[in-house]
Amino acid sequence: MPNAMLIRRADLSSTADATAFVAMLDAYSRDPMGDGQPLANDVRERLVPALREHPTTLIWLAFDGDRPVGLLTAFVGFSTFKAKPLINVHDVAVLPETRGRGVGRALLSAVEEHARATGCCKLTLEVLENNTRAKGLYEAVGYQQATYAPEAGGALFYAKPLL
């Protein structure tokens, strides 16, 4: 990663950080491995206030100089089997032209450091089956398909859209 690269926690009460976050999330949304389209205007308007109100929001931004080039959004959850907090990584995004420079790895390292410092028992995330690049990174830094009892097989992620 170049010397000018900086990874830090975002402060969504800062206009600069809020603007950088929305720009990065919009870039991620436009990506084929995101939503394949820009963020809707109403989402852009609600996003930062809603995240600021959500009590477990964690966000890291990656900068190359003053330019935002990556983000990681996560939320604190809880493991009933361990009786400890966990962190679910919800978004990891790196601008296409800066991929392969260690930005994603640095963002994942930052959230892991925070999770260890706050007594979390694990990190979780979801990834699209065809996102081979992201899967390779996640596996390289220690993520794997969740299993709890080997005879039960691996865990799957399901969703039921309500909107």
Digit-coded pLDDT (tens) for 63-73: 999 999 999 99
List the beta bridge partners of residue 60: 9, 72
Which letter does DSSP use for residue 150 in this model? G
Tokens representing residue 120 in the block: 């979390």
Counting the structural domains of the chain, the total is 1
Q: What is the pLDDT of residue 2?
A: 46
How many angstroms separate the Cα of 21 from the Cα of each of 1, 44, 47, 103, 158? 21, 10, 10, 15, 27
List the beta bridge partners of residue 107: none
Q: What is the pLDDT of residue 3?
A: 55
Digit-coded pLDDT (tens) for 95-123: 999 999 999 999 999 999 999 999 999 99
Which of these, 7, 2, 118, lies nearest to 56 by C-alpha position? 118
Q: pTM for the whole thing?
A: 0.94
Residue 117: inside a domain: yes
Q: What is the pLDDT of residue 150?
A: 87
**What number is the average pLDDT over the span 129-149?**
95
**What number is the average pLDDT over the span 43-48?**
98
Mean pLDDT (the chain, rounded): 95
Residue 163: inside a domain: no
Is 12 in contact with 52 (CB distance < 8 Å)? yes
The enclosing domain of 86 has a CATH number of 3.40.630.30
Digit-coded pLDDT (tens) for 77-96: 999 999 999 999 999 999 99
Residue 23: inside a domain: yes
Residue 158: inside a domain: no
Range of the domain at 14: 5-152
Report H helices in the chain.
Answer: 15-30, 41-53, 103-117, 132-140
**What number is the average pLDDT over the span 31-44?**
95
Residue 159: inside a domain: no
Residue 16: inside a domain: yes
- The b/e string for 79-97 (b: 16+ C-beta within 10 A; e otherwise) is eeeeeebbbbbebbbbbee
The residue type of 109 is S
**What number is the average pLDDT over the span 32-50?**
96
Kindly indicate the confidence band of residue 1, based on its pLDDT and cuts at 50, 70 and 90: very low
Residue 134 predicted with pLDDT over 70: yes
